[in-house]
Amino acid sequence: MLSACVSVAAALVSLAAPPSPALAAAAPAHASPPGHHHGDGAALTAEADPAEAAVIGEEHAREHARRRSAVKGPKDYPQSKRTAGLAALKASQQKTNALFDASRFGRFTEFFPSPDFGVHTALLPTGKVLLFSFERVETNPTKETGPTDRIGATNAGRAFLWDPAKGTGARAFKKVEPPTVLMPDGTYTPRPAPFFCAGHAFLPNGMVGVFGGNTGGKGGSGAKLSFVFDPWTETWYRNQDMAVGRWYPSVVTGADGRQIIMSGQSERGTGTPTPVVERFPALRHPVPWRTYDIPVGLAAERLRADAPFRNDYPHLFSLRDGMIYGLGRDADQQWLFDPVKETRADLPRRPADFRGYGSAVPLPAGFRGPDSVLVLGGDPHDPNTYRLSGGAWTTEEPRAFGRTQDDTLILPDGTLLTVNGALSTRDYGHGPFNPQADLSYRQIELRDARGHWKLGPSQRLPRGYHSNALVLPDGRMMVTGDELQQIANDPDIKDAMDGSIELYEPAYLHRGGARPALDRVPGGELGYGAGFEVGSSTAAAVTRAVLLAPTTVTHAVNTSQRHLELPITGVRGSAIGLRTPPGAADAPPGYYMLFLLDAKGVPSTAKWVKLGGRR
């Protein structure tokens, strides 16, 4: 078989055969509504050549097709152009950032290749970062990279782990391929699950529930797929399919540890968002609590309430009252869901009109869980921010300018940071599918404890659609995503490193002196409203203790963020007494990063603690 593989590859490597007429007819291009520009029908496929597949097998032939596509890509968009683009961005970043004092604005540090685009990211309680997306079908960034409208084997997903403890080289990444599935697309061709553009949230045992994906065709159609990723064994597990297909759904973890799933384009294709709300796992199944409680083959169940969002990826939040707040893109679709009574009620209309891909953050509220949400971005012509609190909206201080595709994070000191952004979907300021970008969107924005914003330094790449960011346990911020910009500025398009990651050090890491030390935390579960002790060799310098929930984010939708101050009940030598939040509505059960901070707001490196007694 090896000799046959070599001979066939030698005969075909110089050829880049066009897709067969049958395949082309099976995957027509479809016009997309505003906000949906995944597929333009112009992408090169990487379908296996039938003659080659007959000799070496479908999957092996498909890999050869990918390689031929990679060879062809640089001819359409030469490597010299990518290299020059990256060099220009590095030079302009250095020039801009020379004006910013790191002790006031922080600084961007390392920039390095990644094997994945990072369309979806999640910080795991092991300290590793899960990145997943799709197998690209195009290396020309002026064309659609993803296989949204592809039918068959090229419509596939992929996933990797990045271990920050291993640095930034290729050895720091590990492939964790999703399960092989047979999609109901008429071909039933085996491929790694196409779970890109899914929704996700954390379970109490630290696993990530992932729901939905893309079946292919129809401008993008929803998949019924349901998975969990186990960070402890670094393995994917499949559960029973959902009741409906979902492409672009949102997921949030409630106070009981179960996940609520809403919206997403159905299996009928783009333009058919589903109103069906589902809960995982179904009430007849226990909530996965321990690290070895692995959900396999579990079912979700439909709630009595529906969620008829006209547009997908709504922002979902579980606030301190135990309710689920569903904040849609449309101003008149702001809803309150009771996950126990399974009812939906109207919230007041948001002051702003339609908001596309913008961020939203549950604002820190001391030792209790959040009771208000700040909505940002989503309209390049509106820099205002909007706060929902006490059942009413207020217009808050604006950022420097409007942007979409932004990511806003809560930092350990309780301040906010916005990174990434663009004019609109696939448009960086000079037309769609044009990698040239308005570089102003590269500047971060910082919000202090009083709610005032200021512009900060620039990241290396402009990152818009599919950009992501999260806070690491050492207090740094990781930035990734936006496959078009990553491909347009790839230092070597022929290698296996399709993406890139950039690291940012907030100002609190540049204030001089030693950081607080967090040497010891309890190893077991912590109940609510309970006292516990941690050990610190710098206990006398500690003035605050905070819990920061890990982030799992995609498409500017981050439902997992949470920041809580823990009361300090006493200090005895190296022992610091703390108290956990009052209840599960304040902080849903699961893993949190615990930071100790000094009077300057400088955090320790976090350690992981688990909240919530077993149910």
Q: Which residue has the higher pLDDT, 305 or 41?
A: 305
Cis ω before 589 (30° cut-off from 0)? no
18 pLDDT more than 50: no
- Three-class secondary structure of residue 539 per DSSP: helix
Section 467-475 average pLDDT: 98
pLDDT-derived band at 29, boundaries 50, 70, 90: very low
pLDDT digits (tens, 9 = 90+) for 164-176: 999 999 999 999 9
In a domain, 227, yes or no: yes
- Tell me the Ramachandran region of residue 423: left when phi exceeds 0, alpha when psi lies from -120 to 50, beta otherwise: alpha
376 token code pair: 């940002």
Locate all alpha helices (DSSP H) within 42-200, ordered by sequence: 50-56, 58-76, 79-97, 102-105
- How large is the average pLDDT for residues 431-435? 94
Which percentage of the chain shows pLDDT scores above 70? 88
* DSSP string covering 433-478: T-----GGGGEEEEE-TTS-EEEEEEPSS---TTEEEEE-TTS-EE
The pLDDT assigned to 486 comes to: 98
Q: How large a percentage of the chain has pLDDT more than 90?
A: 87
Within a domain: 529: yes
Lowest-pLDDT range of 1-5, 21-25, 437-441, 550-554: 21-25
* Cβ-based neighbours of 495, under 8 Å, separated by 6 or more: 113
The answer for residues whose C-beta is within 8 angstroms of residue 99's C-beta and 6 or more apart is none
pLDDT at 234: 98
Beta bridge mates, 525: 610
Do residues 491 and 557 both lie within one domain? Answer: no
Residue 7 has pLDDT above 80, yes or no: no
Residue 326 lies inside a defined structural domain of this protein = yes
- Closest Cα partner for 12 from 63, 60, 70, 64? 64
Backbone angles phi, psi at 5, to 5 degrees: -60, -45
Residue 214 within a domain: yes
Same domain, residue pair 548 and 415: no
User: For residues 429 and 405, is the Cβ–Cβ distance under 8 A?
Assistant: no
Same domain, 394 and 450: yes
In whole angstroms, give the CA distance from residue 341 to residue 568.
36
Instruction: Specify if 3 maps to a domain.
Output: no
How much is the average pLDDT of 414-423?
98
pLDDT of residue 615: 45
Shared domain for 485 and 541, answered yes or no, is no
Quick check: is 15 in a domain?
no
Token pair 């109207």 is at which residue?
346
Provide the residue range defining the domain that includes 278.
79-509
> Which of 509, 537, 567 is the last residue in one of the domains?
509
Q: Give the pairing of strands 568-572 and 552-554.
A: unpaired
Map residue 480 onto helix, strand or coil: strand
The 10s digit of each residue's pLDDT in 43-84 is 334 566 776 666 556 655 665 565 555 445 557 899 999 999
Number of domains in the chain: 2
Residue 429 shares a structural domain with residue 574 = no
Taking CA atoms, 366 is separated from 445, 546, 549, in Å, by 23, 9, 14
Average pLDDT over residues 450-455: 97
Clarify whether residues 391 and 478 are in a common domain.
yes
The CATH number covering residue 541 comes to: 2.60.40.10
Query: Strand 525-526 to strand 607-611: parallel, antiparallel, or no bridges (unpaired)?
Result: parallel
The CATH number linked to 93 is 2.130.10.80
- The reply to whether 473 and 497 lie within a common domain is yes
Whether residue 416 has pLDDT greater than 70:
yes
Buried b (16+ CB within 10 A) or exposed e, 305-333: bebebebbbbbbbbbbebbbbbbbbbbeb
User: Which pLDDT score is estimated for 62?
Assistant: 62
- Domain identity same for 141 and 257: yes
The per-type count for the chain, helices as H runs and strands as E runs, is: 7, 40
Q: Examine the domain organization and report whether 430 and 555 are in the same domain.
A: no
The more confident residue out of 49 and 243 is 243
Tell me the C-alpha distance between 396 and 61, whole Å.
56
> Distance of CA 33 to CAs 16, 162, 385, 398, 425, Å?
32, 35, 25, 28, 11
Span 343-369, mean pLDDT? Answer: 96
Q: What is the pLDDT of residues 113-153, one digit of tens each?
A: 999 999 999 999 999 999 999 999 999 999 999 999 999 99
How far apart, in whole angstroms, are the C-alpha atoms of residue 255 and residue 259? 9
Residue 419's nearest CA partner among 381, 376, 365, 374 is 376
Mean pLDDT of 480-503: 97
Given a cut of 70, whether residue 20 has pLDDT beyond it is: no
Looking at the structure, tell me whether residues 327 and 355 fall in a common domain. yes
Q: What is the mean pLDDT of residues 35-44?
A: 35
Residue 243 contacts by C-beta under 8 Å, 6 or more apart in sequence? Answer: 224, 276, 278, 300, 302
Task: Answer for the pair 398, 383: CB distance below 8 angstroms, yes or no.
Answer: yes
Asked whether residue 482 falls in the same domain as residue 540, the answer is: no
Classify residue 10: in a domain, yes or no: no
pLDDT band at residue 512 using 50, 70 and 90 as cut-offs: confident
User: Which helix (H) or strand (E) segment is 21 a member of?
Assistant: helix 21-26
* pLDDT for 28: 26
Contact between 385 and 375 (Cβ < 8 Å):
yes
Is residue 517 included in any domain, yes or no? no
Using CB atoms within 10 Å of the CB of residue 197, give its burial: 0 to 12 exposed, 13 to 18 middle, 19+ buried: buried
Same domain, 409 and 268: yes
Cα distances from 59 to residues 47, 62, 194, 461, in angstroms, run 10, 5, 15, 34
Residue 185 has pLDDT above 90, yes or no: yes
19 — pLDDT class (breaks 50, 70, 90): very low
Mean pLDDT of 102-108: 98
pLDDT at 480 > cutoff 90: yes
What mean pLDDT is reported for the chain? Answer: 90
